[in-house]
Structures are given as C-alpha cells and as structure tokens.
C-alpha cells in the first residue's frame, strides 16, 4: 500500500467518525426535544408554597385548615380508647367540662379538679365523678396482646423508658445513675440492692400521681389507661411521648411493663412447666 493510499483511507475513516458523531448529536437533540414536547400540563401545577399568601380566601391564607368532621386515612377517632385510655363515660364528661365557664380573672377554687388538666383526673370524694378509677381509665387492652406485641413493647421500652426506669423497671436507669431525677419503680420491693429508695413519704413502687390526691395505690394496681395517659401527656419530671411513640406502641410498652411487674409477683404454680423448671433449676445454683 502506497503512502497516498493510506492517507486517503485515514481521511475517509475520520470523515465517517465525524459523520457518526454528528448523527448521534442530532438523535440526542431530537429525543430531548420530543421529551419536552410530550411534557404534560400537570407537570406545572398552579400550587401555593407553604405560607404563601393568596387573595382567593378572605383571610389571605393559602394553607387551609381541615373541614370539621374530616378524618384522614388511618386516623383514629378522638373518642377511641386506643388513643385516650379513658372509658366512654369519662371521655364524655371530660369534653363537657367546657359547658361550665371559668372566669380567668377570678379566684381559683381550692378543689377545682373538674377543670384540671393532666393526669390523674381523680377525686377521692365519694360524691364526685372521679371517685372510682375504674370509671375513668380503661382496665383492658384495646386489642389482643400477642408475643409479637410484647417483643415490640420490650424494644420500645428499651428505646424510650429504660434510660430512666431501668431495664428491670426498678428506677435504676442511666439518668438516675448520673445523679438526676429519681424515677418511679414499678415494684414495691427492691429488685436489686443498689437502686432508688422510696420517694420522700411515697413508698417504693407507689403511684405519685394518685398519691397527690391522697390515694395510696401501687403502680402495678393502677388501671392501664392511667399509664397510657402518663406516657401520652407526661407527669412530673417525665415528659410526654405522644409525638415519639404511636398509640399502639404505647399499649405494647404497657403490656411489657405489666410483664416486668408480673415477673416479681408471679405464683410458681401458675407458671408453664418449661419456665418453672428453669426457675427451679436457678434456685439450686
């Protein structure tokens, strides 16, 4: 092959490559133009950005509140015990409280528990609607508790509760170990030697909320609806956990707390045989 022939072939190959690149460029451009041409009008909707004003509504706000009675998908009704922990009777009484108008500038009655917010809504006076805890808080779980629920409850308890109340529910959490608050124990006897003592005049394991109204009752005997309300709204130094823990998980946590309490007061004769054998074997070690 002569040098001139070789140059002609290289020149021809270069022209072919250049033509291929040009064709590819044209094809890509056509595809992009076709994509733009096929864009639907729904891609550019006339929506309002958050807090953007508008002249359409009289109040000038583009963000609209929900209409009365609207229930969003998967929302529980406000009166459902699953999200209140209250009996139907107490729920109705609680929301009728506004029928009695309170003068914010007037003196506060010493025994105005009817309009008190927070837990517990309990009044030991026999002639008051709060004289019986069973009429206020539910005593049964709103759904059947399975082994999977207990496992989930143990997991959520470890994540949100154990840092204060301790893994065993005896108040021996990391918060207490570092010298901060003294959490409530779920047990009336010490599970471990090195754990918080009684809280002032309140015996170990007794409800501080009920003690406020001079009701002396262990935590293991309070209605589970009361525990649900404390988790939801908080009490004393304990913050509310409504935003962190869904209602169903709150009940699962309560079921696990009841399991911790049962573990300290279980009757050996009622234990399953396989568990009783393990307990008996532990006694001989």
Annotate the chain with three-state secondary structure.
Answer: CCHHHHHHHHHHHHHHHHHHHHHHHHHHHHHHHHHHHCCCHHHCCCCCCCCCECCCCCCCECCCCCCCCCCCCCCCCCCCHHHHCECHHHHHHHHCHHHCCCCCCCCCCCCCCCCCCCCCCCCCCCCCCCCCHHHCECCCCCCCCCHHHHHHHHHHHHHHCHHHHCCCCCCCCHHHHCCCCCCCCCCCCCCCCCCCCCECCECCCECHHHHCCCCCCEHHHCCHHHHHHHHHHCECCECCCCCCCCHHHHHHHHHHHHHHHHHHHCCHHHCCHHHHHHHHHHHCC
Q: Which of the residue ranges 98-107, 209-218, 219-228 has the most confident prediction, judged by mean pLDDT?
A: 219-228
**Complete domains list, the chain, with CATH:** 147-283 (1.10.760.10)
What does the pLDDT look like over 180-218, one tens digit per residue?
888 899 999 998 888 888 888 899 999 988 887 778 899
283 vs 181, which has greater pLDDT?
181
Q: Provide the b/e sequence for 28-44 (b: ≥16 CB within 10 Å).
A: eeeeeeeeeeeeeeeee
Please give the radius of gyration of the chain, using alpha carbons only, rounded to the nearest integer.
Answer: 33
Residue among 157, 138, 154, 158 nearest 146 (CA): 154
Q: How far apart are CA 98 and CA 79, in angstroms?
A: 16
Burial class for 68, CB neighbours closer than 10 Å (0-12, 13-18, 19+): exposed
pLDDT at 109: 56
The tokens for 176 are 């207490």
Q: How far apart are CA 112 and CA 154, in angstroms?
A: 38
Q: How far apart are CA 136 and CA 114, in angstroms?
A: 13
Least confident interval from 27-31, 122-126, 192-196: 122-126
pLDDT at 230: 93
Evaluate whether 232 touches 124 at the Cβ level (below 8 Å): no
Residue 283: pLDDT over 80: no
Residue 41: pLDDT over 70: no
Strand partners, 202: 199
Average pLDDT of the chain, as a whole number: 79
- Mean pLDDT of the region 224-232: 93
What does the pLDDT look like over 129-159, one tens digit per residue?
555 677 788 999 999 999 999 999 999 999 9
pLDDT at 228: 95
- The alpha carbon of residue 55 and the mean position of all alpha carbons in its chain are separated, in whole angstroms, by 39
pLDDT at 47: 82
The tokens for 266 are 């279980």
pLDDT at 117: 44
pLDDT at 119: 43
Residue 120: pLDDT over 50: no
The tokens for 41 are 């009008």
What does the pLDDT look like over 64-84, one tens digit per residue?
887 877 877 778 887 888 998
Q: How far apart are CA 218 and CA 77, in angstroms?
A: 31
pLDDT at 155: 97
């Amino acid at each position: 092959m002569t040098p001139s022939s070789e140059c002609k072939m290289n020149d021809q190959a270069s022209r072919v490559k250049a033509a291929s690149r040009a064709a590819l460029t044209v094809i890509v451009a056509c595809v992009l133009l076709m994509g733009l041409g096929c864009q639907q009008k729904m891609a550019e909707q006339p929506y309002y950005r958050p807090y953007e004003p508008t002249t359409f509504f009289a109040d000038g706000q583009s963000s609209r509140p929900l209409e009365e009675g609207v229930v969003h998908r998967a929302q529980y009704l406000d009166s459902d015990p699953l999200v209140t922990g209250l009996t139907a009777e107490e729920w109705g009484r609680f929301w009728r409280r506004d029928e009695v108008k309170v003068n914010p500038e007037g003196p506060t009655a010493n025994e105005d528990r009817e309009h008190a917010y927070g837990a517990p809504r309990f009044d030991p006076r026999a002639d008051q609607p709060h004289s019986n805890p069973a009429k206020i808080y539910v005593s049964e779980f709103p759904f059947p508790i399975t082994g999977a629920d207990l496992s989930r409850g143990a997991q959520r308890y470890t994540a949100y509760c154990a840092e204060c109340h301790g893994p065993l529910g005896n108040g021996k959490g990391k918060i207490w170990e570092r010298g901060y608050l003294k959490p409530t124990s779920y047990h009336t006897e010490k599970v471990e030697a090195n754990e918080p003592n009684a809280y002032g005049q309140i015996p170990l394991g007794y409800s501080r909320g009920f003690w406020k109204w001079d009701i002396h009752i262990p935590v293991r005997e309070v209605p589970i609806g009361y525990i649900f309300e404390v988790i939801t709204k908080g009490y004393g130094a304990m913050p509310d956990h409504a935003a962190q823990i869904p209602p169903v998980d709150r009940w699962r946590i309560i079921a696990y707390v009841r399991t911790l309490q049962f573990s300290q007061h279980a009757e050996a004769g009622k234990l399953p045989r396989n568990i009783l054998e393990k307990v008996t074997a532990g006694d001989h070690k």
